[in-house]
Structure 1
Amino acid sequence: MTEASIARVLIDSPLPQLDRLFDYAIPENLREEARAGVRVKAPLKTLGRLVEGWIVELTDTVGYAGKLSELDSVISPFPVLAPEVWTLARAAADRAAGNAADVLRLGIPKRHARAEKSLPEPAMVSYEHSGEPLAVTYFDADSITTLFAANKRAALAAPTGVVEISPGKWVGRWAVTMAELAAQTLARGSTAILATPDFRDQEQLEAAVTALVPEDRILRLDARQSVQRRYGNFLRTHDGTPYVIIGNRSVVYAPATKLGLLVVWDDGDSLYSENLSPYIHTRDAALLRQEQQQCALVFLSHSRSTEVQRLVEVGWFGAMSPGGIRPPKVIPSANQVSQDRLAAIARIPSAAWKAARAGLDEGPVLVQVARPGYAPRLACADCAQTARCTTCAGPLAQRSASSTPSCVWCGALAVKWRCRECDGTRLRMVGSGSARTADELGRAFPGYRVIVADGDHQVTTVSSEPSLVIATRGAEPVAEGGYRAVLLLDGAGMLARESLRVSEDCLRWWSNAIALAADGAPAVVVGVGGALATALVTWRQEDFASSELADRRELRFPPAIRVATLTGKVALVAAAIEQLPVEPLDVLGPVDLPDGVVRTIIRFDYKAGPAVAEQLKALVVAATTVSRSNRKPGMPRASQPAPGLRVHLDDLEPFVDL
């Protein structure tokens, strides 16, 4: 065959046995279009149909002696699979014992023909910052220079407070730090990729970047865009022009041949965890990409995750703290209602009451609560048992003072409800959601505007006018000039959640809320003591992360070690455990689950990770092959046997009930 007459194709399929490159002959009519990276259709005899895939590489040699099947067609002439993205997807999938195609589906948007037709010509004009040399305002200039020059990895403690970047537009100082790092990268002729967990943070970051970087050098990639806009921006990343690329968890897979910087904001946020196989966390993908492309990598946060703390302690990451900003003023408070009449109406301690009263004289006051709605939980007034739905047994809640209680799970209205335990018919409210807290604070502070920000009320900014802002964790708006006081009311309730990460998560939620306060404004934390209160008062969250990591290291809990969960039939799981190559191996379980399957947890050291992942992938392939061989001709797909073994590496879900 002539040169480049063979295409090596990755099939776009979730089947683990197809997670390899297949060789196809390129017919004469496709020689010009069949380039590395384009999406194609090819025949697959094992499935008896045409399948889609990506050409990973072209070659003129093949080890197969028989006749190769030919490519059927080229779906699009645009090379959507960049070499650096393929390398990252392959490494990420191997680390998680998953499929590379599943990873690529996260990073490559769906095709949109109109976006391809309207794609502008690349500008290919170098961007150089004019005026004073670029700087990262709150950090030492020499440390930042070293970070870029040596392609270092660093954990940065984010500066607190908010700043006005343009008339009437306020953002957190953390966003300014990311924007300045990105502007430096762009001035060096390289691309910067910036990841945020949700749209609220992304909007702040976009505003900060727009103030420093030309608009035509900013690309946004996230699921909130239209298919055409997202695919169009994705295609532009391939044109060789340096960009600042902003997005959520999948933006880490954006193409960038000359990648200079990767920044992940608040990596402890659960939104960075991918819910689809192979369940790769954005943080892990960023670490792999930094190693492959030797770019600078920054994890920026107010409260450091235990995963990043481990990397700092083993010397893989450096640590930097901001300067020139006074730490927030944090006041712990006991969870005892004040004797003051108005404070008693709002059910808040006297310290919180005084802080709110003084803050409202100057501007907005933020009140963080744990849950949305009116009453997050209802109980039987007679026996105090949790009130449950008569249809599905889910817990009942109340969304507003006038609404009928309904089921949290199925949404059924609790009309003519009757307790299953004592046959009682009266309900009582347990706890306060955002709506109930807003009602009570509105009565306690008459004459002030009350704003609710939660999942049902999306508010991203508030003015500097005096007001009470009741927000659930993570939904706090940015206030012009910062909040004049911050009240964190549900500390004890948040800590009551059963999870391995509960303390770490609470510290992060509280730190992010406190960071929205104006410089010098007080933050009152109710019902929190011990090491958590100390970390907030001293504003040394890294000390708490270090202590938490030490405890997990002693107990052999992640992230001190790696874990994998194996779910399937008893015999398959037992056989898989016996074949794993690591000795000694910690095995927890099996534990019975619904539908006749069991779950076993294995724990192993990081150095054993590649061997364990490789063996688990082989076991999944073998189990899937057996499962497919048991299918009967003509059997409906829904009735066919499910895959026999499911593997999830770095899974924290089994540790929820510890």
Structure 2
Amino acid sequence: MLIDSPLPQLDRPFDYAVPAELRDDVAPGIRVRVPLRSAGRMLDAYVIEMGEADPVDRPLSDVDAVISPVPVLPRRLYDLARRVADRAAGSATDILRLAVPKRMVRAEKAWLAAGGAVAPVIDDAAQSWAAGVLADQPALADCLDRSGRAAFDAPPEPVAVSAEVTVGSWAVLLAAAAVRTLAAGRSAVLVVPDHRDQAQLEAALAGRAPAHAIIRNDARQSSPERYAAYLRVLASEPCIVIGNRSTVYAPVHDPGLVAIWDDGDPLLGEPLSPGVHARDAALVRHELEGGALVFAGHTRTSDIERLVGIGWLTDVSSARRRSPRVVLSATKEGESRGARVPSAAFAAAREALTAGPVLVQVARPGYAPVLVCADCRTPARCPHCAGPLHAARRGAVPTCGWCGRSATAFECPKCASTRVRMASSGSERTADDLGRAFPGIRVIVADGEHPVLDVDERPALVIATRGAEPIARGGYRAVILLDGDRMLQAEDLRIGESCLRWWSNAAALARPGAPVHLVGVTGSVARALATWTQPAYARAELTDRAPLRMPPTVRVAALEGSRIAVETALTELRQAVPSLDDLAVLGPVDRLVDAGDRRGPARALVRFDYAHGAAVAESLRSSIVADALRARKNPRTRGPVVGNTLRIRVDVPDLDL
């Protein structure tokens, strides 16, 4: 049995006896309820395997009850969860909570009454369509046929799948790959960052594959819908599963394709323990189950480029190289250096608006995300919590972005001025300014508070924050990328990769031949966008990081907890892996100003080569279990028993002490 418990010391198989009255009901994969002697209570558990009992000193506890007769945990999913958890120094039960939804009795009864899934049938027209789409991508088709591993550079252009619907060409290609896989009698798993990408895949698959064979898996589903979809995935009939990061664990029968779109999107990184990225889970799954593995995107992350460099992934590019017409716009002689939209970009937008919509990408939502003192330019802060002040509209009272209080009586702590000015422009202020510059033109704001999925082909100015750009029917007639210099100023190791991804995804929404203006940015990132050589930029990033031992050239684990717990874990790690060099450990660093209390919070980073990954993860996992056991014992102390204080996350993307 695998007990469903968050306690790390219980993350191992336990033996239980099956009483005679339950022998016909207990089977591998089902949910049961078992007693836990040390806790004196009943817990849910999964049956992993069954066999004859070995002689033991004391009798085994009996299974108390069968929760459900449906085997919701096939052995292939348990093996995947175990391997992924071991790689990340985590618990298999934490992985299974992401993969296996909660039981819904009505949905389960309806599924059992229906009698199972219907085998999908792909007609000749759909197979011909898939073959025609993949004919332009022979390297990708070859990867599917031989169950290979590929990093695919998707063509950056929109494609009309019907008179009313336009999607990215990447969605059409992945849909064709899924249809080809389904026609061969195997399942396909398509993992995307958010609902926008999922909607594009669903539109591309509409009418190409049977509706009952296309399974959704996302947070927008109700609990019964998600559980019913999971039961369909467990069936032996092949299917196509589309969803967000947890979809990578979908236990489909005979997986023939696992594809991840835009692996650089932070939404594919799991925030819950043990924090395994969908990319890493897909790599482990391919080693266990085989099938084709495809990482597709308009850009190349340094993580994927590292795998290409060592030969583990094959670099797959389009047979016919297509790239947007990128223009690096800068202020001309005689123009104000503070001009937000240079004359060249302004003229391109004015010309494009005669034919259709124009996309303007900005860095932040809102009206004025940043306010400063009007006299000394000191950032305006809230007098109550020191949070940043922002303005909801022109002339509005400044509001704190942290506590929400209004700063009705602002006074600069540096010069005592009571006036503020806007230091940046958000999506709403940009829409206000450009709306006055282009009178009579529709202005559409697309950001977190104003979600827009698509726009029609009529002329319009679409002001969107990065990642929230809607799709234009037929493609945008021009794309203007603003605030690029401000985006690059973020204190982040991967900010160059992130900016290149934001800009490339926006440029891919442009109609073929339409101009894409990148405003006020120069350097290697701008050159990579202008020449559409994102893999070369990723290779250069790897070359720069290797001497500094920065991820992903090495793996990094972060340890957080009391200073005693962190130091104990580091000592045990050095003993378990003596080959770690002196520069492998950074810290521990106290998280509070007062560093005298060794029970206070501390943090440390461990850098290690990929060859040492298994040994490091095993040692760190042992430290978590030991810390949890010490916390539970805590003998003869006043007050309640404290919880475990050590938290570990492996494969953090950045070095941040």
What is the root-mean-square deviation of aligned Cα atoms in Å?
2.0
Aligned residue identity for 2:200:
Q
* Structure 1 residue 490, shift from structure 2 partner: 0.8
2:46 equivalent in structure 1 = 54
2:231 equivalent in structure 1 = 235
Change (3 A) 1:63 1:597: farther
- TM-score by length of structure 2 reads 0.94
1:161 equivalent in structure 2 = 157
Pairing of 1:571-590 with structure 2 (within 5 A): 571-580=564-573, 581-582=576-577, 583-585=579-581, 586-590=584-588
2:596 equivalent in structure 1 = none
Pairing of 1:312-351 with structure 2 (within 5 A): 312-324=308-320, 326-334=322-330, 339=335, 347-351=340-344
Change (3 A) 1:446 1:51: same
**Which residue of 194, 211, 217 maps to 2:213?**
217
The SS at the match of 1:89 is helix
**Which residue of 629, 636, 639 maps to 2:633?**
629
CA distance in 1, matches of 2:116, 2:397: 57
* Structure 1 residue 157, shift from structure 2 partner: 0.2
**Which residue of 99, 109, 113 maps to 1:107?**
99
The SS at the match of 1:319 is strand
Change (3 A) 1:196 1:396: same
Aligned residue identity for 1:105:
R
CA distance in 1, matches of 2:110, 2:551: 48
* Structure 1 residue 503, shift from structure 2 partner: 0.2
1:4 equivalent in structure 2 = none
* Structure 1 residue 121, shift from structure 2 partner: 2.8
Q: Which moved more, 1:136-145 or 1:11-20?
A: 136-145
Change (3 A) 1:616 1:50: same
Aligned residue identity for 1:108:
V
**Which residue of 82, 92, 95 maps to 2:74?**
82
* Structure 1 residue 337, shift from structure 2 partner: 9.8
1:253 equivalent in structure 2 = 249
Pairing of 1:288-367 with structure 2 (within 5 A): 288-324=284-320, 326-334=322-330, 339=335, 347-367=340-360
1:3 equivalent in structure 2 = none
Aligned residue identity for 1:79:
P
Q: Please list the CA deviations of residues 329-350 of structure 1 after superposition, one character each: whole Å capped at 9, or x if unmatched.
A: 000112579749xx99x83111
Q: Contact 1:122 / 1:241 at 8 angstroms: preserved in 2? A: no
CA distance in 2, matches of 1:13, 1:338: 68
The SS at the match of 2:546 is helix
Change (3 A) 1:339 1:17: same
2:436 equivalent in structure 1 = 443
Aligned residue identity for 2:241:
I
Change (3 A) 1:361 1:602: same
Q: Contact 2:237 / 2:253 at 8 angstroms: preserved in 1? A: no
CA distance in 2, matches of 1:542, 1:141: 18
| Number of equivalences | 642
2:467 equivalent in structure 1 = 474
CA distance in 1, matches of 2:345, 2:134: 31
Aligned residue identity for 1:36:
P
* Structure 1 residue 126, shift from structure 2 partner: 4.7
* Structure 1 residue 214, shift from structure 2 partner: 1.3
The SS at the match of 1:620 is helix
* Structure 1 residue 417, shift from structure 2 partner: 2.6
Pairing of 1:397-546 with structure 2 (within 5 A): 397-401=390-394, 403-546=396-539
**Which residue of 127, 131, 146 maps to 2:121?**
127
Q: Contact 1:135 / 1:141 at 8 angstroms: preserved in 2? A: no
Change (3 A) 1:422 1:631: farther
Change (3 A) 1:181 1:601: same
Q: Contact 2:119 / 2:238 at 8 angstroms: preserved in 1? A: no
2:589 paired with 1:591: yes
2:646 paired with 1:645: yes
CA distance in 2, matches of 1:633, 1:203: 56
Q: Please list the CA deviations of residues 37-77 of structure 1 after superposition, one character each: whole Å capped at 9, or x if unmatched.
A: 11121111122211112111111233633111111112221
Change (3 A) 1:138 1:329: farther
1:263 equivalent in structure 2 = 259
* Structure 1 residue 464, shift from structure 2 partner: 0.3
* Structure 1 residue 654, shift from structure 2 partner: 3.7
* Structure 1 residue 140, shift from structure 2 partner: 4.9
1:10 equivalent in structure 2 = 2
The SS at the match of 1:34 is coil
The SS at the match of 2:173 is helix
Q: Which moved more, 1:36-45 or 1:359-368?
A: 36-45
Q: Contact 2:122 / 2:209 at 8 angstroms: preserved in 1? A: no
* Structure 1 residue 79, shift from structure 2 partner: 1.2
Aligned residue identity for 1:519:
P
Q: Please list the CA deviations of residues 421-467 of structure 1 after superposition, one character each: whole Å capped at 9, or x if unmatched.
A: 33332111111000000000000000000000000000000000000
Change (3 A) 1:392 1:141: closer
CA distance in 2, matches of 1:406, 1:561: 43
CA distance in 2, matches of 1:138, 1:494: 36
**Identity %, equivalent residues:** 50
Q: Which moved more, 1:204-213 or 1:421-430?
A: 421-430
Q: Which moved more, 1:484-493 or 1:591-600?
A: 591-600
CA distance in 2, matches of 1:538, 1:619: 48
1:381 equivalent in structure 2 = 374
CA distance in 2, matches of 1:82, 1:334: 58
Q: Contact 1:363 / 1:465 at 8 angstroms: preserved in 2? A: yes
Change (3 A) 1:86 1:444: same
**Which residue of 607, 618, 621 maps to 1:614?**
618
The SS at the match of 2:80 is helix
* Structure 1 residue 631, shift from structure 2 partner: 6.6
* Structure 1 residue 216, shift from structure 2 partner: 1.1
CA distance in 2, matches of 1:275, 1:584: 28
CA distance in 2, matches of 1:217, 1:360: 42
For structure 1, list consecutive stretches of 5 or more residues without a partner in the other structure. Answer: 1-8
- TM-score by length of structure 1 reads 0.94
2:557 paired with 1:564: yes
CA distance in 1, matches of 2:434, 2:55: 75
CA distance in 2, matches of 1:326, 1:301: 14
Aligned residue identity for 2:630:
V
CA distance in 2, matches of 1:144, 1:428: 53
Q: Contact 2:134 / 2:140 at 8 angstroms: preserved in 1? A: no
Change (3 A) 1:28 1:311: same
**Which residue of 144, 151, 157 maps to 1:148?**
144
Q: Contact 1:337 / 1:348 at 8 angstroms: preserved in 2? A: no
Change (3 A) 1:337 1:651: farther
Change (3 A) 1:296 1:511: same
1:604 equivalent in structure 2 = 608
CA distance in 2, matches of 1:177, 1:633: 63
CA distance in 1, matches of 2:554, 2:648: 17
2:94 paired with 1:96: no
The SS at the match of 1:25 is coil
Change (3 A) 1:145 1:451: closer
Q: Contact 1:195 / 1:264 at 8 angstroms: preserved in 2? A: yes
* Structure 1 residue 192, shift from structure 2 partner: 0.3
